[in-house]
Structure 1
Amino acid sequence: MKNGKIKLQAYILKKSKKLFDKNKVLFLKNNNQQVIVLFGLITLICIFFDFNLQNSNLTIPFIITTLVSSAITLIGIPQLKKIKVKQVIREEGPKNHFIKQGTPTMGGIFFIPIGIIISNILYFNTQDYKVVLTLSVLIIFFMFIGLIDDLLSLKKQFNTGLNSNQKIILQLIISLIFIIFCASNGYINNSIQIENRTFNIGNLIYPLGVFVLLAESNSANLTDGLDGLLSGCSVIIFAGLSITILIENSINNTGLSQLCIVMAGACMGFLFLNKYPAKLFMGDSGSLAIGASMGGIALISNNLWSLLIMGGILFAESISVIIQVTIFKISKKLQGKGYKFFLMTPLHHHFELKGNNEIRIVSSFWLVTLLLVISNLIFFIKD
């Protein structure tokens, strides 16, 4: 049975390589163009807002962080190969992913610290520094949770390191400490803003805050399943959050705005090496940190509603898993056989199994994210 499985995997790998070689030139050309266009678009948007909003300083931090992140990540790839830090592909996933087996992973340990270091340098000894530092600690701790998961996964030679309970407990502890600290220092208030309405929720901010951090970090983790998918969407969402914060209040919260644009640059630099075919995966050390940073920034800047809109792809990815599991369990209990609503979850795998190539899915998800960010910004500009 085991030999049969190995032969099947070898056959699938051979066919996948053939298909890749056949379409390699076309895929690479299209993908390179899309990544360059995304970088150019975000740069132009930063320039526009730097000229039109008071205290806006987005362009230079974005470009510098992109270059540094890309350079450090490029230098780090041979080191990961040397110590054999290679991705383990789950057997139950799409079979054409076996071609990715052996690609270096844990790229999050390169570009996440770059974002944190640059944002702290920019705002050291300013009035916003304590908030930036607090968020930096949150991001680092979530990166370490992901790193533990990645290392255990490599040790076991299995796609899962920490089990779901262990991961949730660690995330819960860090999230709770973060929310309590922020609430006691006045970084988070007891009200949330939805469109132009403000709702006072009192002590419910504690469970809501914890939920947001857990939901965002795990949604980002689920989204990280195709080359360039999460890194590209993150660039757009972070840039959108940065501009939203500036539009709301161009005098205060500039530290949060620049933290966002620096994180966008860190993800952009990584994207140049993570695009299809990826030279490096970010691993849980990257995805959990990205999700936690989005959630933390949205909580402190009171932009939960904006994050929900702009992060629609992340929401769709996680809700597809919830729908799949719920329907499967209910139908199995009622009919004795589980029914699958999607071909496979998270959602990007469903589209893969429908016959769409990876680049098309990723670029479509980027486009949807961009449209959601634009919709959110139009609302704020009108308001």
Structure 2
Amino acid sequence: MDAKLFTNRSFSLSGTRLFLCVTIGLSAAALSLDWLAGRSLDQGASLTLPFWVSALATAGVGFWAVPLLRALKAGQVIREDGPQSHLKKAGTPTMGGAFFVPVAVGIAIVLSNFSANVIAVSALTMAYAAIGFIDDWQIIRYKSNKGISPRLKMGLQIAFAIAFCVWMFVTQPVSITTLALPFGLMLPLGGLFWLLASFVLVAESNATNLTDGMDGLAGGTVAIALLGLGALVGQTSPDLMVFCACLSGGCVGFLVHNRNPARVFMGDTGSLALGGALAAVALISNSLFALLILSGLFVLETLSVIAQVTYYKATKDSNGIGKRLFKMSPFHNHLELTGWTETQVVGWFYAIATLLAILTFTIR
């Protein structure tokens, strides 16, 4: 793809306009989907009411939490080897996930009437948020890009993934180990399902984490994916639909403060939690194939990092220096270094995320 073809200013929107586009678009989608499904908008078991209750609550809490994070000097440390345009963001408060994720999760639990499935998914989400919080706190505390060790971080993610799988094994029907494919096809996995489930939980959380690198990028794309997943599972799992709508609304409420130019970043506290939430809902609702499509952008970001590292190692010369496949990974950084503005990247990613959500509905 020739990046120069897309760097025309006519393709660029301000952060505020992008925020309005995604907010209005998701609101219209929620209303339309509720109307088509015959769901009453004055009930909790819908997309629209949970979405807006959570969006307004998280946005409101943010007006108190963001200044608090600034007062606590919870400023982001920017990589010196990253895009130079990001250096001006140094000191912007991070750990924003610490305020919007718990609020959205709490609202979801209440509006779902304390559904056991929602409580379990919420527990997994908060567990991954806790991992991210520890990592963010280490970075803030020592003013370094290095948080907890990658081995400890991955170990904690795997441990919580296994715990969630054990809960599923005990409480969910045996048929959950049969993977649902498009057009009514089913693929029996048996015991392999549990290996796949653990992998998906860890991989999805890390994929959303990699996508969180620009103002509003992860918040908007995950909001779209969550609402799409909620709509897909609404007929069979209305409680999980409410959970997805609440977290989607929470992301939108967070975008009030995170849109370009961002006044706060979600940090690992938010990005790890959101990925875990997506994976947990998909596992319980047997929607893994749908999640694969909805997470297409997150998969692309992950593959770009894997490809960059692999290519660098494979092309090392006698001095131990290799070649780079991209100017920088993840892929959104490559686009920025080829001339795209942040808002252009975010705008195109929002558009692609929307198309992926529509595609998911067409082939389910």
Compute the TM-score of the two structures, normalised by the length of structure 1: 0.88
* Greater Rg over alpha carbons, structure: 1
CA distance in 2, matches of 1:353, 1:239: 31
TM alignment of 1:106-185, pairs within 5 A:
106-125=95-114, 129-185=115-171
Offset from partner CA, 1:240-277 (integer Å, 9 cap, x none): 1011112xxx2x31001111111100000001110111
SS in structure 2 at match of 1:113:
helix
How many residues are paired up? Answer: 348
* Structure 1 counterpart of 2:325, one-letter code: F
TM alignment of 1:220-259, pairs within 5 A:
220-246=208-234, 250=235, 252-259=236-243
CA distance in 2, matches of 1:347, 1:54: 40
* Structure 2 counterpart of 1:139, one-letter code: T
For the pair 1:193 / 2:177, whether they are aligned, the reply is: no
Q: How large is the RMSD of aligned CA atoms in angstroms?
A: 1.8
Conservation of the 8 A alpha-carbon contact between 1:131 and 1:187: no
* Structure 1 counterpart of 2:147, one-letter code: G
Partner in structure 1 of residue 86 of structure 2: 97
For the pair 1:327 / 2:277, whether they are aligned, the reply is: no
User: Which protein has greater RCO, CA pairs closer than 8 Å, 6+ apart?
Assistant: 2
TM alignment of 1:1-383, pairs within 5 A:
30-55=14-39, 57-125=46-114, 129-186=115-172, 189-196=176-183, 197-246=185-234, 250=235, 252-332=236-316, 337-380=321-364
Mean Cα displacement is larger for which, 34-43 or 147-156?
34-43
Q: How much has 1:95 moved relative to structure 2?
A: 1.2
Conservation of the 8 A alpha-carbon contact between 1:28 and 1:276: no
Q: How much has 1:120 moved relative to structure 2?
A: 0.6
* Structure 2 counterpart of 1:300, one-letter code: I
SS in structure 1 at match of 2:215:
coil
* Structure 2 counterpart of 1:49, one-letter code: L
CA distance in 2, matches of 1:88, 1:372: 33
Conservation of the 8 A alpha-carbon contact between 1:65 and 1:118: yes
SS in structure 1 at match of 2:132:
helix
Q: How much has 1:124 moved relative to structure 2?
A: 2.2
* Structure 1 counterpart of 2:182, one-letter code: E
| Alignment CA distance shift 1:54-1:203 (3 Å) | farther
Offset from partner CA, 1:51-91 (integer Å, 9 cap, x none): 12144611111111111010111210111111111100011
Conservation of the 8 A alpha-carbon contact between 1:143 and 1:289: yes
Compute the TM-score of the two structures, normalised by the length of structure 2: 0.92
* Structure 2 counterpart of 1:286, one-letter code: G
CA distance in 1, matches of 2:60, 2:12: 20
After the TM superposition, list the runs of 4 or more consecutive aligned residues in structure 1 that deviate by more than 6 angstroms. Answer: 26-29
- Unaligned residue ranges in structure 1 (runs of 5+): 1-25
Conservation of the 8 A alpha-carbon contact between 2:12 and 2:344: no
